[in-house]
Amino acid sequence: MKNLKKLALGFVMALGLVAGVHAAGGGIAWDKAPHKTNDLAALQNGAKLFVNYCLNCHSAAYMRYNRLKDIGLTDQQIKDNLMFATERVGDNMKVAVDPVLAKDWFGKNPPDLTLMARSRSGPGGTGADYLYTYLRTYYRDSTKPTGWNNLALPNVGMPNPLWELQGEREPVYVEKEEHGHKVQIFSGWKQVKPGTMTPLEYDQAIGDLVGYMQWMAEPDQNTRVRIGVWVLIFLSFFTFIAWRLNAAYWKDIK
């Protein structure tokens, strides 16, 4: 029992340490991403946003274009609207930019995004929560080489790829006193230059994009959940039958 208590205490301390590191890095609390992996219209819009704004620099090398048929698209729709770097619908979603140029521009090659929605989960929330927050917290920063910074990932090397949709914003801080020291607390946003979308439309679009990335990271997740529900129903029914059979077999035994 003492060992179990020590193990539990160590686990709690480890979680606290990771959370402390996240806070020390300057990132803000992650917003909860909407769950859209069952919404075909949202997934299709997210796929359109992904190939238009993400696939220019990032690859999704473990996803094939023809897998998009699982979200209600035909081969012809995929070819006409979503394929810009290849001509075969069975090809992987490879990056359009030369890796050498990408390294020169950004300092390193942009990461593959196929599993990003799963790999970024942590104490702050799920990978979808991180992406949803990250893509909505860019702001102009003239001190950075790219002219952009991010509240969820301070000193980010990637500029805001969706700035034309979101427009330009700057964070608003309020000064508070904590433990005898004055600190700046993020309180909201000030729109500096409007984008082609309203803030609500932009948040909905990012929700669609993140929903697609969440689906892309595990396309069979909804099927797995449905099968799991039926398996649990079957096991519950079988358990009831086994219980009644057991009672029938032993009813004359005293």
- In this prediction, what percent of the chain has a pLDDT beyond 70? 87
Answer yes or no: is 5 within a domain.
no
Answer yes or no: is 10 within a domain.
no
147 shares a domain with 242: no
162 shares a domain with 74: yes
59 shares a domain with 110: yes
Q: Angle at the Cα of 105 (from 103 to 109), degrees rounded to 5?
A: 30
Least confident of 12-21, 105-114, 233-242: 12-21
Total domains present in the chain:
2
Note the pTM of the prediction, 2 decimals. Answer: 0.78
Average pLDDT estimate for 165-186: 88
Please give the pLDDT value at position 185.
Answer: 87
Nearest to 146 by CA among 166, 136, 160, 167: 160
Look up tokens 């993020």; give the residue.
186
Answer yes or no: is 4 within a domain.
no
191 shares a domain with 99: yes
Nearest to 158 by CA among 189, 129, 135: 135
Please give the pLDDT value at position 27.
Answer: 65
Instruction: Count Cβ atoms within 10 A of the Cβ of residue 163 and give its class: 0-12 exposed, 13-18 middle, 19 or more buried.
Output: middle
228 shares a domain with 212: no
Query: In sequence order, which residues have a C-beta less than 8 Å from that of residue 53 and are 6 or more positions away?
Result: 161, 162, 209
SS3 101: helix
Structure token digits, residue 168:
């330009």
12 pLDDT above the threshold of 60: no
Q: Which residue has better confidence, 221 or 66?
A: 66
Residue 125: strand pairing partners: 122
> Which residues constitute the domain of residue 234?
222-254
Answer yes or no: is 226 within a domain.
yes
* Contact in structure between 87 and 146 (CB atoms under 8 Å): no
205 shares a domain with 231: no
Answer yes or no: is 7 within a domain.
no
210 shares a domain with 194: yes
pLDDT (tens digit per residue) in 102-112: 777 777 788 89
63 shares a domain with 182: yes
Q: Which residue has better confidence, 221 or 46?
A: 46
